[in-house]
Chains A and B, each alone.
Chain A
Amino acid sequence: MTPVAFRHRLAERGIDAQLLLLGPAAVFVAALFVYPFCYGIAVSLQPVEGGPFAAYQAFFRDAYQRDTIATTLRIALPAALLNVLASVPIAYRMRGRFRGKRVLTTVLVVPITLGTVLTAEGLLNFLGPTGWFNRVLLALGVVDAPVTLTHNYWGVFLSLVITGFPFAFLLVSSYLSGIDPSLEKAGAVLGAGWAQRFFRITLPLLAPGLATTFCLTFVLAFSVFPSAILVGDPSGTTRVISIAAYEAAYVRYDYAGGAAAAIIMGLVELVVIGVVLGLRSLLYTGSTAGGKG
């Protein structure tokens, strides 16, 4: 086959010189993401002593390491669920136009940009034993002694809600704005109450978007690291898996253990996302616009 004919056959399958534009990006991602990941897997399979899977065995044999998976999920799953579930009714109420909507969404973006480090610092001041929050509760007579909300599970949980809720809200409201309101109006004309309209029209159309939102919020919550150290209890109830991986690699200089923990972390997260996206594929995904079908 002549080179020209070969090029034509490739071009028929959509492969030609223009695809080279993908090159630089593909090289960067391959060199900085795919290669390090494979390198990490290789490192984790070559521990200083023991067989190829010794680092993984050590991780699962040691309860102090193994329990970090459960700890991480215990923080990340409820936080992601709460963020998504709370933003549905709020976004549903705030559909449509009203005065001050742009200001409201702008203010909501602020906590996202603050990031977890600053949120942790603020939570330590605000929720601490002499912080404003406890002062208000004491002054109102709700509690007798200051509530401990920092350096434990709740500090980390609240920091995830503060950064994660606006994120979930903005995503959910952008999905909601894509659903044609005339579908609901049609339901109303046919005599459906608000509950029927919500549960039988809007929610099914929104559900795929909710699954995506949950995944993205969960990724944020799952990789919690700075706030688990600063506002949590990093050697006890909030010893999340990222802390275990970091300690193994940079405190104990056990590179195989650190790489193994990092890879276990990635796998656990992909499993959760895979389950959610698998459930999502059972749902209706298609046009959310009205009109003649």
Chain B
Amino acid sequence: MTRVRRRIVATPAAWAVWGTVTLFFVGVAGVIGSVLVNSFATRWFDTWLPQGYTTEWYGQAWEEFTLLPVLGVTLVVCLLVAGVSVLVGVPAAYVLARRSFYGRRAVYLMFLLPILMPPIAYGIPLATVLYKYGFAGHLSGVVLANLVPSIPFVILTMTPFIEQIDPAVERAARMCGARTRQVFVRILAPLLVPGILAASILVVVRTVGMFELTFLTAGPDSQTLVVALFYSMSASGIRAQQSVDAMAVIYTAMMLVLLVVALRFVNPTQLVARVKEDPE
């Protein structure tokens, strides 16, 4: 059997496209690479590469920035936000996916707005309200603030998953005498496990990266990693640049681990957004 070898021809358009993509990746690699190299550097001023390498910045960053509690706070906040938003969001997504009722569009718009609004624009009034009731400055305030974009996000992500499930399955369960709660726990939940996993991982990724809301509501002992990183960066000059970079590398590593986990369950395009084209 003979294999026909296709000739690889690159048109100018292909060159331009691949060139742009390559340039972009070189830029991204440079951005991440320079942080990574600098975090291991002893001294790096006016040369291509640092004069020597060391790992002491990591130990220093760990102690100076008290990273262990910060990581703990980040973890607790993420788990709480993901748990609550799934518990609250999935039933709402079910109603929006299956039912049509008077005022459905208005409800849909109410859930869409927190995603479309810039976080600072609603974060400032929200932080004022949370301070008024004594939530802000603690872990509870950070969790509450992060729930605002997370619940609508879970609803918008889960609606297509629920629409895929054949309603006949539910009707059969109801014929056999199952109540709504039983339909949820014994029929829908097992079928929705992949979707729920995907949604909660996406919420965790977004919460780890969410800067503005956490920044506005966090107190000194409820900072997440990204806020701690911002404070150490904006106070540059006090800390060694390498120490800040070591912290940035820890943050990146955490994000990459989450990303690898996330990509086992979700399609990359889903990571971006899953806003449905038309609510009707």
Contacts and interface: CB of A to CB of B under 8 A. Distances in A.
A135 interface: yes
Contacts of B91: 21-22, 24-25
A7 to B, nearest CB: 14
Interface string B197-221: 0000000010001011001000000
A110 B28 contact: yes
Given A35-B129, A125-B38, A165-B24, A117 B252 contact: no
A80 interface: no
A129 to B, nearest CB: 9
Interface of B: 13-14, 16-17, 20-21, 24-25, 27-28, 30-35, 38, 45-46, 48, 87-89, 91-92, 94-96, 99-102, 107, 110-111, 113-114, 116-129, 144-145, 147-148, 151-152, 155, 180, 205, 209, 211-212, 215, 226, 229-230, 233-234, 244-245, 248, 251-252, 255-256, 258-259, 263, 268-269, 271-273, 275, 277-278
A284 interface: no
A135 B48 contact: yes
Contacts of B100: 14
Nearest to A93: B17
Given A21-B95, A225-B120, A265-B120, A121 B244 contact: yes
Given A43-B125, A122-B31, A266 B118 contact: yes
Interface string A218-258: 01001101100110000000000010011001000001001
A48 interface: no
A21 B128 CA distance: 29
13 contacts: A33-B126, A33-B148, A36-B128, A113-B271, A114-B255, A115-B255, A126-B30, A130-B46, A219-B118, A245-B121, A258-B124, A262-B122, A262-B123
B226 A117 contact: yes
B228 to A, nearest CB: 10
A56 interface: no
A90 B16 CA distance: 9
A179 interface: no
Nearest to B44: A130
Contacts of A285: 277-278
A186 B153 CA distance: 39
Interface string A190-231: 000000000000000000100010011001001101100110
Contacts, number: 250
Contact of A110 (B101, B152, B212, B256): B256
A223 B121 contact: yes
Given A110-B256, A113-B205, A90 B125 contact: no
A266 B121 contact: yes
Contact of B118 (A28, A118, A165, A265): A265
Contacts of A158: 27
A26 B102 CA distance: 15
A230 to B, nearest CB: 6
Given A26-B92, A132-B30, A162-B27, A266 B117 contact: yes
Interface residues of A, number: 88
Contacts of B275: 212, 216
Nearest to A42: B125
A37 interface: yes
A111 B113 CA distance: 25
B203 to A, nearest CB: 13
Contacts of A105: 268-269
B268 A39 contact: no
A17 to B, nearest CB: 8
A212 B129 CA distance: 32
A101 B129 CA distance: 47
A161 B124 CA distance: 26
Interface string A26-65: 1011101111110110010000000000000000000000
A78 interface: no
A131 interface: yes
A44 to B, nearest CB: 9
B126 to A, nearest CB: 4
A258 to B, nearest CB: 5
A147 B79 CA distance: 44
Interface in A107-153: 107-123, 125-126, 130-133, 135
A263 B121 contact: yes
B147 A28 contact: yes
A142 to B, nearest CB: 14
Contacts of B46: 130
A85 to B, nearest CB: 11
Contacts of B34: 122, 125-126, 131-132
Of B13, B121, B128, B245, the most chain A CB neighbours within 10 A belong to B121
Contacts of B121: 223, 242, 245, 262-263, 265-266, 269
